[in-house]
Amino acid sequence: MADDNNRRVRLLCRPKQLNTKGSDPEIHFWLVGSPFLPPLTVASFFRCIHSLPSSSSPDFRKESEDLRTLLPKGFELIGAVASGEESDARAAVDAAHSLRKLLYGEGTDRPVIGAVCGSDSSDLRFFVSESGNATSLEAVPSVIEEQDLEKCLWENGCLLHCELPIKLPLYYALKNPTDVEKAYLQAAEAVIAKLRDPKAVYMLESSNKTSQDIPPPVIIRGVQLDFYADLSKIKTLAEDDDGSDARSLSCSYFSFGCKAGSQVFSAENADTIQVSVLFNSFETSSASTVPVAEYFPVEEEARLIVVDIKLDVLCYSSRDLPLKYAVSSLIIPGLVDQLNIVQKLMLPNLLAQHPQLKSYHFSPPGILHPITVFYELSFGETEMKQVEVRRSLHSRLGLPYDRPLLRISNALDFSKLKNNDMISLQKGSTLLRDVHIGIPSSGVTEGTASLVQGSYEYFHYLHEGYNDSGWGCAYRSLQTIISWFRLQNYTSIEVPSHREIQQTLVEIGDKDPSFIGSREWIGAIELSFVLDKLLGVTCKVINVRSGSELPEKCRELALHFENQSTPVMIGGGVLAYTLLGVDYNEASGDCAFLILDPHYTDLDDLKKIVNGGWCGWKKAVDNKGKNFFLHDKFYNLLLPQRPNMV
């Protein structure tokens, strides 16, 4: 290896459930990196889930088919993790090399990482093989675990997105229905040829429609493309390049995220370049032409079917990559791969049952980069076939099984305008969202903060002009909790109004009909009834004799936010609050509660809400002896539990 910098493995993540048992050098994880990241940088761990019958060896064919679909162009397999001792690193390198050969073909001479994990230790040891040669391994002297993970990936990275609807007309003889496969293959090859045609035209434009300084679109012609470039060896553009034409423009031409004050690093907030394919040439011809129709009679009875396909490709790129290489080395290979994937999925049942396949892009928590998944839309999302597909994906990505992270409603939506003002994107909603982000610290010395995970909407008194001041705080807390379940896609129901909440309690027999339209308070028990009825959500209720005893529940509340991560309702007397987290020092017992106060009655002004203390850290007794909670009141804590659903 050339120098010490290239001898360091950089980890942007750690695999879940790393500790492995057994004496066989089984392959447990695949290592994913990118040619746009520093050498030997691991961006994610994908679990190996397919093995050969009666063997611990990976089924490389199935693994390659899955990874070819899941990994966006711009990411690639760079290694593997095996269990065992140092000698088993060779098995990891061999496996990674074999899989790379299936994914990328011959000539993949980049370094391959082989990592091993002992049966009694969760520590990873890394080795590197130049050119995938497993006979020569070098131990990695240092491993760097990066701190700002999203920043490492997205500060100098962007996304490219391309949608391409295709209609494939397929003719076949009724006497020989198998001819339809040949017709499909020929039609697909014709599309691939058009994508690589020198006369093809690609238009690139920014997907950010909210900026006042949107650069004009860029046109790349097929004749400008280079299909044999190696992304890891492409030289970036010179800093003093004036960008006078498309050949000298890089992806940074469409960059907005690097501007000061807009740094939220994630796939959702990444700069996205929209790529459109224009098959018709812009070139003009001096010769006069007229439309021509040709007639080809068939020798026997034939049938025509038209297959509708919508390719939808997402790629990751460095901002410094020239646009022409972004098209030739990312977008076009992505479209070709996706067309081949669709072809393989469709052909077996093309005549009997026309599959309805669509690709979706997800950015699940814990995975820094997007993934792409194909779903068969003929199945409902709750049907077992679809559930098993998602369960398999959760297993590969190390995602929990009690969270619907890969349902269609969780997919990235590039049709939505990028919005940085914290307003909820839910249809018809103008509520503030995630208002606790960026608030001042709690003041707990050396405490551990455990917070709500996921988004919620802030419901408070007088929202939408409904006057519930003095009695509706528990209703508002319930609405905030339901909005959390809605935004995490556990449910698609609208957040219920006060009257609908009352109607629900009457329907289950908890209240008399006269309760509807009243201004009666409700508490934790009523909230649990409504959540069970409307969402199928069970709740845990903790009773506290007074506000002064709330700190005794901090450890239990911290575990709730770490494991369930749902908002909590605190009810005492005539007051109710929404709890979004706790900051707790177990050694000293010092703690603070992150309170979202539904008693706020002013306009939805984020600064006013935070500065006024309507969302912030509260101590049961602060350093001035002031009591936030009423110590002479009985308190209930309502802890909603996540449903077990994939």
HEC string for 433-485: ECCCCCCCCCCCCCCEEEECCCCCECCCCCHHHCCCCCCCHHHHHHHHHHHHH
Q: Name, in order, each residue with C-beta under 8 angstroms of 43's C-beta and a sequence gap of 6 or more.
A: 12, 13, 32, 33, 34, 37, 75, 153, 368, 369
Measured over the CA atoms of residue 34, residue 35, residue 40 and residue 41, the dihedral's sign is: negative
Taking residues 624-634, what's their average pLDDT?
69
Least confident of 9-23, 196-210, 604-618: 9-23
CA 106 – CA 417 distance, rounded (Å): 42
The model's confidence at residue 166, banded by pLDDT at 50, 70 and 90, is very high
Taking residues 396-403, what's their average pLDDT?
88
Residues 255, 213 contacting (CB under 8 angstroms): no
- Amino acid 443: pLDDT: 86
Least confident of 229-233, 312-316, 417-421, 551-555: 417-421
- Amino acid 2: pLDDT: 45
List, in sequence order, every beta strand (DSSP E) within 527-574. Answer: 539-544, 568-572
Taking residues 411-432, what's their average pLDDT?
59
The model's confidence at residue 334, banded by pLDDT at 50, 70 and 90, is very high
Q: Output 630 or 69, whichever has higher pLDDT.
A: 69
Least confident of 79-93, 311-325, 612-626: 612-626
Burial of 576 (0-12, 13-18, 19+ CB in 10 A): buried
- The identity of residue 67, as a single letter, is L
Measured over the CA atoms of residue 516, residue 518, residue 524 and residue 525, the dihedral's sign is: negative
The model's confidence at residue 359, banded by pLDDT at 50, 70 and 90, is very high
Q: Output 91 or 378, whichever has higher pLDDT.
A: 91
Q: Is the pLDDT of residue 425 over 60?
A: no
Q: Is the pLDDT of residue 124 over 70?
A: yes
Give pLDDT tens digits for 200-220: 999 999 887 655 678 899 999
- The identity of residue 484, as a single letter, is W
- Amino acid 275: pLDDT: 96
Closest CA to 554 of 432, 448, 402: 448
List, in sequence order, every beta strand (DSSP E) within 130-174. Answer: 138-139, 142-145, 157-173
The model's confidence at residue 422, banded by pLDDT at 50, 70 and 90, is very low
Least confident of 309-313, 423-427, 454-458: 423-427
Q: Is the pLDDT of residue 18 over 80?
A: no
- Amino acid 421: pLDDT: 41
- The identity of residue 5, as a single letter, is N
Give pLDDT tens digits for 556-598: 999 999 999 999 999 887 889 999 999 999 888 889 999 999 9
Q: How is residue 406 annotated by DSSP?
A: T
Question: b/e per residue, 269-297, with b = 16+ CB within 10 A?
Answer: bbbbbbbebeeeeeeeeeeeeeeeeeeee
- The identity of residue 27, as a single letter, is I
The model's confidence at residue 256, banded by pLDDT at 50, 70 and 90, is low
CB atoms near residue 506 (< 10 Å): 14
- Amino acid 123: pLDDT: 78
Beta bridge partners of 592: 583
Q: Is 621 helix (H, G, I), strand (E, B) or coil?
A: strand
Provide the token pair at 402.
Answer: 């009690």
Least confident of 2-6, 238-242, 363-367, 620-624: 238-242
- Amino acid 385: pLDDT: 84
Residues 630, 572 contacting (CB under 8 angstroms): yes
Q: Name, in order, each residue with C-beta under 8 angstroms of 86's C-beta and a sequence gap of 6 or more.
A: 116, 125, 127, 139
CA 367 – CA 385 distance, rounded (Å): 24
Give pLDDT tens digits for 529-551: 999 999 999 999 999 888 778 88
Q: Is 370 helix (H, G, I), strand (E, B) or coil?
A: coil
Q: Output 98 or 175, whichever has higher pLDDT.
A: 98
Least confident of 45-59, 327-341, 377-391: 377-391
What integer best gives the mean pLDDT of the chain?
A: 85
Residue 478 has φ and ψ, to the nearest 5°, of -65, -40
CB atoms near residue 468 (< 10 Å): 18
Beta bridge partners of 42: 11
- Amino acid 286: pLDDT: 58
Q: Is the pLDDT of residue 283 over 80?
A: no
Provide the token pair at 149.
Answer: 């993970």
Q: Is the pLDDT of residue 243 over 80?
A: no
The model's confidence at residue 86, banded by pLDDT at 50, 70 and 90, is confident
Q: How is residue 328 annotated by DSSP?
A: I
Taking residues 95-108, what's their average pLDDT?
86
- Amino acid 383: pLDDT: 78
Question: b/e per residue, 3-29, with b = 16+ CB within 10 A?
Answer: eeeebbbbbbbebeebebeeeebbbbb
Task: Name the residues annotated as catalytic.
Answer: 473, 597, 599
Q: Is the pLDDT of residue 620 over 80?
A: no
- Amino acid 261: pLDDT: 42
Provide the token pair at 72.
Answer: 């966006």
Assign 3-state DSSP to the chain and report helix, strand, coil percentages, each to 5. Answer: 30, 25, 45
Least confident of 165-174, 459-468, 597-606: 165-174
Residues 70, 86 contacting (CB under 8 angstroms): no
CA 553 – CA 542 distance, rounded (Å): 9
Closest CA to 225 of 364, 381, 342, 332: 332
CA 126 – CA 627 distance, rounded (Å): 54
- Amino acid 632: pLDDT: 65
The model's confidence at residue 169, banded by pLDDT at 50, 70 and 90, is confident
